[in-house]
Amino acid sequence: MRIATWNVNSVNARLETVLGWFERASPDVAVLQEIKCVDEKFPTEAFERLGYNVAVHGQKTYNGVAMLSKAPLEDVRRGLPGDETDEQARYIEAVVSGETPVRVVGIYLPNGNPVETEKFAYKLAWMERLNRRARELLRYEEPLVIAGDYNVIPRPEDAEKPDAWLGDALFRPESRGAYRALQNLGLTDAFMAVDGGPGAYTFWDYQAGAWQRNNGIRIDHALLSPQAADRLVRVDIDREQRGEEKPSDHVPVVVELAL
């Protein structure tokens, strides 16, 4: 099973590019972030024509996540538990049916900048809620993949110019510590398990020729339960997608599990 995560930075604005990638890569499951549309405006029929079942948790103009699967989706949850006042569409969860069912979670973790504002507090509180939900899901002892745009640079090696990110919410010790706390629950960073080398970036800013200079960062991750990590085969970062016409500033990350 090939499970992809991709922050598409507006699915309708880049629909031709996104559909082209799906036709080529043909992931079994994909979680998308920053779809930037309400549920009714998501191009569901276009993905259904490619053979996908679709679940959407959208939001007008901002945020929004979706899950696409060739197999039926069961037990779909929209929204991260723990704060009934949180109206931001950043979390979707479902069980992908099959001989070995897999629970897949798609997240768009808050950016958190500027750090001196309530946005950073919201990011850390959201990560604590995610930690609580992950603990609940790990009790099921089933294959679990929590994939998405984490907006966290885990290590200095995950940035071309780490010094430039000092003080940024993506690289603050609190953010990195919260990411490590997720791993300490027993979750495995899929990329670190199969590679872990420097320079494997998933995001390049649109400004200042970042793509041309390879001034990137790794902020799109997949964390695996022990039952999923045992089945991990490979991780592919489709960096060439960043060079396509009208690209997102993120590229797809694909995790392959032997199921």
The reply to whether 108 belongs to the active site is yes
Q: What is the CA radius of gyration of the chain?
A: 17
Residue-range domain boundaries for the chain:
2-257
- Token pair 């850390």: residue: 124
Residue 42: partners with Cβ closer than 8 Å, 6 or more residues away? 11, 35, 54, 56, 58, 66
CA angle 111, 27, 79 (to 5 degrees): 40
Annotated binding residue 57? no
3-state DSSP of 44-104: HHHHHCCCCEEEEECCCCCCCEEEEECCCEEEEEECCCCCCCCCCCCEEEEEECCCCCEEE
Q: Is 151 annotated as a binding residue?
A: yes
- pTM comes to 0.98
Render each residue's pLDDT in the chain as its tens digit; 259 residues: 999 999 999 999 999 999 999 999 999 999 999 999 999 999 999 999 999 999 999 999 999 999 999 999 999 999 999 999 999 999 999 999 999 999 999 999 999 999 999 999 999 999 999 999 999 999 999 999 999 999 999 999 999 999 999 999 999 999 999 999 999 999 999 999 999 999 999 999 999 899 999 999 999 999 999 999 999 999 999 999 999 999 999 999 999 999 9
Q: What single letter denotes the amino acid at residue 234?
A: R
- Which of the residues 149, 158, 168, 220 is marked catalytic? 149
The pLDDT assigned to 128 comes to 98
**149 in catalytic set:** yes
| 3 state DSSP class of 250 | strand
Residue 28 marked in a binding site: no
pLDDT of res. 185: 98
CATH number of 2-257: 3.60.10.10
The per-residue pLDDT for 54 is 98
pLDDT at residue 208, as a whole number: 86
Task: Single out the catalytic residue among 108, 150, 179, 201.
Answer: 108
Consult the annotation and say whether 250 binds a ligand: yes
Q: 170, 159, 154: which is closest to 222 by C-alpha?
A: 154
Beta bridge partners of 91: 107
Choose among 52, 62, 45, 56: nearest CA to 10. 62
Query: Could you confirm whether 201 is annotated as catalytic?
Result: no
